[in-house]
Amino acid sequence: MNKDVATFIEKWGQTGVSERANFQPFCGGLCDLLGLPRPDGQKPNESENAYVFEKNVPLHQPGGGTTTGRIDLYKRDHFVMEGKQGADEGAVRKGHGTRGSVGWDKALVRAKKQAENYIHALPASEGRPPFLIVVDVGHSIELYSEFSCTGGIYVPYPDPRSHRIYLRDLEKESVRETLRTIWTDPLSLDPARRSARVTREIADKLARLAKSLEASGHAPAASGGFLMRCIFTMFAEDVKLIPHGSFEALLRSIRDQPAQFVPLVKSVWDSMNNGGFCVALRDTLLKFNGGLFEERNPLPVTSEQIDLLIEAAHADWREVEPAIFGTLLERALDPRERNKLGAHYTPRDYVERLVMPTVIEPLREQWDNVQAAVARHLQDDNEKRGQREAIKELQTFLDHLCTLKILDPACGSGNFLYVTMEHMKRLEGEVLDLLLALGQERLELEGHSVHPSQFLGIELNPRAAVLAELCLWIGYLQWHFRTRGAVNPPEPVISKFHTIECRDAVLAYDAAEPIIVAAASSRSTDAKAAVAAASTRLSSSQASRSELRESTERQDAAPTSDYSFFNPYKKIEITKAHLPHWRQEGVTYFITFRLADSLPKAKLEQWKTEREAWLTQNPPPHDEAQKSEYFERFSARMEALAGCGSWRLHSRRKVLRQYCRQRTEIFRR
């Protein structure tokens, strides 16, 4: 072991319980150990304090007024660090609690919450850091990340099982390198960025293979199904659901004997479908099923095509990002879409803007309440009863998490569904960790988890529908091993739930039912009946555009609601000088507004400088890889910057300012 590391661990493993006395020397020593500069001294101009201890932040109080908070250690665009110090069992002074106790856990939870409050209170010009760090001096370092840098939810990094670094873990160079990178280039640790790069490379290889198979005379549908089975087999060997490296080794062994490809690969897929001993791989395989291997006849391939399969198999399929893999794979397998392989896809940040407030943030609020209830139960004078009630509280929440149904009625290749599932799996991991800490046996928790069967989709494109289900299973299995460790999922590994339906979510229907209108007057009844009749005829392609226009005009003449909305067939007044630019008499308007600090000036200037430098180094014309890089570094980043302000509103009227601020806090939450 490195002598400096041993000295650091020995010194700080024996410190007392005074956080105030020990935090700054501990952080200084850690910087020395990692070969990093120590924090700077405080400057009178707060905007110059980019890497300091005790960073001042204004905290707005609910009743008005402002107080000053102090971040224990701050590095702009990198992290906010909050320090505590617990004590080992038997220590006279307990500090923030005996390590491993309820009091200690609560202290660390409060420290994280405090750091989150500081992050949200940072001025817009500071932006939001990608990392939040909680340190128990001389014992552990907890890592939380939020890579969109918009001040969203900070989740355990890299996952709930391994986000806590103990002092002894500093012996590992990989751990020291992770901490070093948080100080120097934190965004490079974003797994989505790394996974996106790996995923694009794999999709490119598969596109070349699909094109080669079609050139050999195979129909696109047949080559697509064949490749999807190959894809899952490659993924299965990398996560060790089948012997690690076995499929790639098989491909290499028959590279010069392509005639053996069909019988040997069919043998593998027969065994994966039914379970049991596989002669080709010389090992017993789990039963996969799920419909994926119902059609098990591999396509005959050439030695050159086996080379392409070997290239794809050699990639690290554990790093595939399901949030974009489906879209890229759909383009790779469809000859009409293949030229769009390097084109833009919906970035993960955009997906999370919908997923987080609609699904994850409400679940996180429930989880906060559950943790508070667990803490209360564990303070019960009757220790056994308190622990029993705490476990019951956690299991009830886990039951809710594992039975919740999510529907995307236009799911495409499943990126929104996958991102939702990933965040729910992260939350599941946190619940499991707490249950295990309370003495629950891991065996008792097996078979009860957030599962692909909870995620429902409707999609018109049959290829995209199949890919959506495949990507959900790949993502589920990735997170199964991250949250459960080296424990195989129950058999069959994948199941055929038919949760992704291939149909039109809007136009398809089970039956036609009469519409009964309970109206306030015969006039409105007649108007609504006319609209219903015209709409029915339109759906049967028997009505003209004018019929719908006339019926809507009759309905407008007899309103039955407090709200009347824009009608494209009525008179519209269009102006340029004043808002709203489009006006219509008697209709309801939706008001949108731009916050004064929605795009921090300092961040905008940095963005412009980096963009100009990039364009200088990458003059046009740009290839597909450059276009994709530009989109990720500048277009998607601009959208993220637009949401990281501190929600200031400029108005001459104080009452209006206060009211608007209260209203916008609703959106912020």
**CB within 8 A of 515, min separation 6: which ones?**
532
Quick one: which of 185, 123, 117, 183 has its CA closest to 154?
A: 117
Enter the tokens of residue 450.
């957030």
pLDDT of residue 544: 46
Distance CA 327, CA 325 (A): 6
pLDDT of residue 594: 55
Distance CA 286, CA 268 (A): 11
pLDDT in tens, 227-258: 889 989 999 999 999 999 999 999 999 999 99
Contact 497, 453 (CB under 8 A): yes
pLDDT of residue 50: 94
Q: Which of the listed ranges 327-336, 406-415, 446-455, 594-603 does the model predict with the highest average pLDDT?
A: 406-415
Distance CA 61, CA 58 (A): 10
pLDDT of residue 576: 62
Radius of gyration, CA atoms only, the chain: 29
Whole-angstrom CA distances from 173 to 5, 10, 132, 178, 208 are 10, 17, 21, 9, 38
pLDDT in tens, 214-235: 888 988 778 888 988 998 999 9
Write the burial class of residue 642 (CB in 10 Å: 0-12 exposed, 13-18 middle, 19+ buried).
Answer: middle
Contact 84, 107 (CB under 8 A): yes
Enter the tokens of residue 449.
């988890």
Checking if the pLDDT of 513 tops 80, the result is no
User: Which DSSP state fits 578?
Assistant: S
pLDDT of residue 656: 63
Residue that the structure tokens 């491909």 belong to: 251
Enter the tokens of residue 153.
């939810």
User: Which DSSP state fits 364?
Assistant: H
Whole-angstrom CA distances from 453 to 359, 406, 426, 450, 497 are 17, 10, 17, 9, 6
Distance CA 594, CA 20 (A): 42
Return the sign of the alpha-carbon dihedral for residues 468, 471, 475, 481: positive
pLDDT of residue 541: 40
This prediction's pTM = 0.63
Distance CA 625, CA 631 (A): 10
pLDDT of residue 537: 46
Strands 140-145 and 155-156: what pairing?
Answer: antiparallel
User: Which DSSP state fits 276?
Assistant: E
Contact 289, 497 (CB under 8 A): no
Distance CA 277, CA 283 (A): 6
What is the phi-psi region of residue 128: left when phi exceeds 0, alpha when psi lies from -120 to 50, beta otherwise? beta
Distance CA 420, CA 435 (A): 23
Checking if the pLDDT of 470 tops 60, the result is yes
277: Cα within 13 Å, side-chain hemisphere? 2
pLDDT of residue 295: 81
Lowest average pLDDT, out of 116-120, 294-298, 643-647, goes to 643-647
- pLDDT above 70 covers what percent of the chain? 74
**CB within 8 A of 657, min separation 6: which ones?**
649, 650, 651
Distance CA 74, CA 91 (A): 31
In the sheet that 406-408 helps form, which strands lie side by side, from edge to edge? 406-408, 455-459, 500-502
What are the backbone angles phi and psi of residue 43, rounded to the nearest 5°?
-115, 155
- Kindly indicate the confidence band of residue 646, based on its pLDDT and cuts at 50, 70 and 90: low
Distance CA 503, CA 365 (A): 35
Contact 90, 83 (CB under 8 A): no
Quick one: which of 76, 139, 130 has its CA closest to 107?
A: 139
Contact 29, 8 (CB under 8 A): yes
Distance CA 123, CA 126 (A): 6
Quick one: which of 556, 444, 473 has its CA closest to 229?
A: 473
pLDDT of residue 336: 62
**CB within 8 A of 364, min separation 6: which ones?**
153, 427
- Kindly indicate the confidence band of residue 338, based on its pLDDT and cuts at 50, 70 and 90: very low
> With the CA atoms of 551, 556, 561 and 567 taken in that order, what torsion angle do they form, in degrees rounded to the nearest 10?
90
Average pLDDT estimate for 639-660: 61
Contact 258, 306 (CB under 8 A): yes
Quick one: which of 392, 356, 437 has its CA closest to 108?
A: 437
Strand partners, 58: 68
Q: Which of the listed ranges 79-88, 415-424, 549-558, 594-603 does the model predict with the highest average pLDDT?
A: 415-424
Checking if the pLDDT of 302 tops 80, the result is yes
- Kindly indicate the confidence band of residue 372, based on its pLDDT and cuts at 50, 70 and 90: confident
Strands annotated E in 503-615: 573-574, 582-583
Look up residue 658 and give its amino acid. Answer: Q
Checking if the pLDDT of 135 tops 60, the result is yes
pLDDT of residue 294: 82
Report how far apart the first and last C-alpha atoms of the chain are (Å, whole number): 47
Lowest average pLDDT, out of 159-168, 579-588, 613-622, goes to 579-588
